[in-house]
Amino acid sequence: MANLVTSAPIPTASLDAEFTRADIEFHGLDHSGATYEGRVFLNRADASEQTPRDVPEYAGSYFVFGHGGCLGDPGHCDATPRRFYDPRSAHPLTPIVKVVIATAALRRAKAGSDQLTVTVVPVLLATNKAVGEPQDLVLYEQVRIVTYR
């Protein structure tokens, strides 16, 4: 089973009290390897693949359609940034953004605690021989809570 990832605590007092929609955004997410479901739980750092999705801490899932590993020569999958005048689009392995709409779960978390943690439980869906079954499926730079009125 791949490693789960839990964020640092996020103070809920900083969230708008009157939001009509709230999202959990994962920025700088790696998608170079296997395809997986990231099950997102709030204030449930002990969640696992066996934790049912109908618990109140479950906020939803994001899915990553993995690139399938590197099938080129060394350096082929290095996601180097483009130069300013480079007409090519970004490298296909540029880290991505995933957004989980989680209004009700965030409302519960805000009402129940003055801080929240975001735990991602990865569930491997598809892989290949180039990737295998990596332990570290969930690699991201930042998680943000974004609210809308």
Partner 1 sequence: MEQSAPASNAIVLRPSVEQSNIAALRDAYAKMQALKAADNRSWIYWAEYHGFDRYDCWHHAGTGPPPGRDYPYDLFLPWHRAYLQYFEHVVRDQNAEAIPPWWDWTSAASHAEGIPKAYEESEVDGAPNPLAGGPMPKIPKEDVERTTRSHGAPAELPKLSSPTPESEGEPLPSVESLLALTSYVDFSRQLQNIHDAVHGWVGGQMGVIATAAFDPIFWAHHTMIDRLWYQWQLLHGVNNIPPNYSEKVLAPFGLTVEQVLDVRALGYDYASSSASATPVPAVAAQAASAS
By CB under 8 A, name the binding residues for partner 1: 27, 31, 34-37, 39, 53-54, 58, 60-69, 71-72, 81-84, 86, 89-90, 92, 94-99, 101-105, 125-131
| Three-state secondary-structure class, residue 89 | coil
Is residue 27 within 8 A of residue 141, CB to CB? The reply is yes
DSSP state of 122: E
Q: How far is the CB of 127 from partner 1 (least distance, A)?
A: 7
Q: Which is nearer to partner 1, 11 or 132 (CB)?
A: 132
27, with CB counted inside 10 A (0-12, 13-18, 19+), is: middle
Q: Which is nearer to partner 1, 45 or 97 (CB)?
A: 97
For 77, 95, 98, 128, 133, the CA distances from 71, given in Å and listed in that order, are 8, 18, 25, 11, 16
Q: How far is the CB of 87 from partner 1 (least distance, A)?
A: 9
Q: How far is the CB of 148 from partner 1 (least distance, A)?
A: 10
Q: Which is nearer to partner 1, 63 or 112 (CB)?
A: 63
Residues contacting 87, CB < 8 A, separation 6+? none
Q: Which is nearer to partner 1, 5 or 34 (CB)?
A: 34
Q: How far is the CB of 130 from partner 1 (least distance, A)?
A: 5
